[in-house]
């Protein structure tokens, strides 16, 4: 072997040893670098986000961002939320104000209507009180029946028609009473009064027309009534009944009407239904429920005067 060949064979082991030494050194450096990264970032399990988060600068930035969000109400979304909340609160405030205004107007309207009703009731009360005072004065002055106080509209047209078709003549029988009537008791006897006509119940349960009972007190005068003066006293006359008006007991009451015995000297222009004619000693009379009427001429008209019983 030549010297050159010998030198080459001797250099190969040295080159291999150098390469192994370099590799070992590089491995050692990698291990040190990995160990340093592990100590700096908390081990191999931490992600890059975690490493940034755990860094001092990241912690400071996060704290400042959190404080900003707290002050600003959550950043952009917080601002939007605050704007929406403000708009809602403003709308609610306007709605509440509008409702309050509407409620105030309604309350004012109710108050005005209440005042008007109270004022109207006060006027009506004053008017009724004045009317009753006037009635009392007219009764005292014998001028009641000249007025229309008695025509209070309580009786309806159906009551008049009922009496017309049922018959007003004494002894007429009807099956039922008119829609409006009053129950009157005189010395223990019950009568039913309807717009000037008086009824009693017969044994068959029907209603018979009877003469007006003296002493009966009714609340509503008949519709068709005229005034009659006898010896300075005024009476109301309707279909054979003579009424003496009684003043109201107080300002809350209405006058009442008492049936009285036909006053001798009363002169009327029409006879009650059911009156019959009778001639006594050559003189013609008309009789109704024991009351005698004598006819006279007043100008060209015939009138009838209540007279004493010619037979007595």
Q: What is the pLDDT along the chain (312 residues), one digit of tens a residue?
A: 555 554 455 555 566 666 676 666 666 666 666 666 655 544 444 444 444 444 555 455 545 555 545 554 454 455 545 555 555 665 566 666 677 777 777 777 777 777 677 666 666 666 777 777 888 888 888 889 888 777 777 887 666 566 555 456 888 888 888 889 999 999 999 999 999 999 999 999 999 999 999 999 999 999 889 999 999 999 999 989 999 999 888 877 889 999 999 999 999 999 988 899 999 999 999 999 999 999 999 899 999 999 999 988
Q: Which pLDDT score is estimated for 106?
A: 75
C-alpha 237/C-alpha 271 separation (Å) is: 11
Q: Which pLDDT score is estimated for 308?
A: 96
In three-state secondary structure terms, 258 is: strand
C-alpha 150/C-alpha 244 separation (Å) is: 12
Nearest to 234 by CA among 147, 132, 309, 133: 147
**Backbone φ/ψ region at 240: left (φ over 0), alpha (ψ -120 to 50), beta:** left
Terminal CA-to-CA distance of the chain, rounded, Å? 203
Q: Which pLDDT score is estimated for 258?
A: 97
Q: Which pLDDT score is estimated for 47?
A: 46
Nearest to 243 by CA among 231, 254, 265, 228: 228
Q: Which pLDDT score is estimated for 185?
A: 97
Nearest to 197 by CA among 149, 226, 155: 155
Nearest to 258 by CA among 238, 244, 241: 244
Q: Which helix (H) or strand (E) holds 265?
A: none
Instruction: Give residue limits of the domains in the chain.
Output: 3-54, 144-307
C-alpha 264/C-alpha 146 separation (Å) is: 21
C-alpha 44/C-alpha 37 separation (Å) is: 8
Residue 146 tokens read as 């000249």
* 183 contact partners, CB below 8 Å, separation of at least 6: 190, 191, 192, 193
Q: Given the DSSP bridges, would you call strands 197-201 and 189-194 parallel, antiparallel or unpaired?
A: antiparallel
In three-state secondary structure terms, 271 is: coil
**Model-level pTM?**
0.59
> Which residue bears the tokens 């008209």?
301
C-alpha 274/C-alpha 9 separation (Å) is: 176
C-alpha 26/C-alpha 43 separation (Å) is: 22
């Amino acid at each position: 072997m030549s010297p050159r060949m010998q030198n080459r064979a001797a250099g190969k082991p040295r080159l291999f040893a150098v390469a192994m030494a370099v590799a070992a050194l590089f491995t050692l450096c990698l291990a040190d670098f990995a160990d340093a990264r592990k100590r700096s970032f908390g081990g191999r399990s931490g992600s890059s986000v975690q490493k940034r988060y755990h860094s001092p600068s990241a912690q400071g930035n996060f704290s400042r961002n959190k404080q900003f969000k707290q002050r600003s109400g959550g950043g952009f979304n917080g601002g939007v939320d605050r704007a929406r909340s403000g708009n809602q609160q403003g709308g609610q405030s306007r709605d509440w104000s509008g409702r309050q205004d509407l409620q105030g107007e309604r309350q004012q309207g109710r108050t005005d209507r209440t005042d008007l009703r109270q004022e109207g009731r006060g006027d009506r009360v004053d008017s009724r009180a004045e009317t009753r005072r006037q009635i009392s004065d007219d009764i005292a002055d014998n001028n009641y029946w000249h007025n229309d106080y008695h025509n209070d509209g309580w009786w309806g047209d159906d009551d008049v028609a009922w009496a017309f078709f049922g018959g007003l003549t004494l002894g007429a029988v009807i099956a039922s009473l008119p829609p409006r009537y009053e129950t009157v008791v005189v010395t223990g006897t019950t009568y039913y009064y309807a717009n000037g006509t008086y009824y009693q119940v017969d044994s068959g349960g029907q209603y018979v027309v009877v003469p007006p009972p003296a002493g009966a007190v009714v609340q509503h005068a008949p519709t068709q009534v005229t005034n009659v003066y006898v010896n300075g006293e005024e009476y109301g006359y309707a279909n054979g009944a003579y009424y003496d008006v009684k003043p109201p007991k107080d300002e809350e009451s209405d006058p009442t009407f008492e049936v009285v015995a036909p006053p001798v000297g009363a002169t009327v222009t029409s006879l009650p239904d059911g009156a019959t004619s009778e001639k006594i000693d050559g003189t013609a009379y008309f009789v109704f429920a024991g009351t005698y009427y004598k006819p006279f001429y007043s100008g060209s008209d015939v009138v009838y005067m209540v007279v004493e019983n010619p037979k007595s």
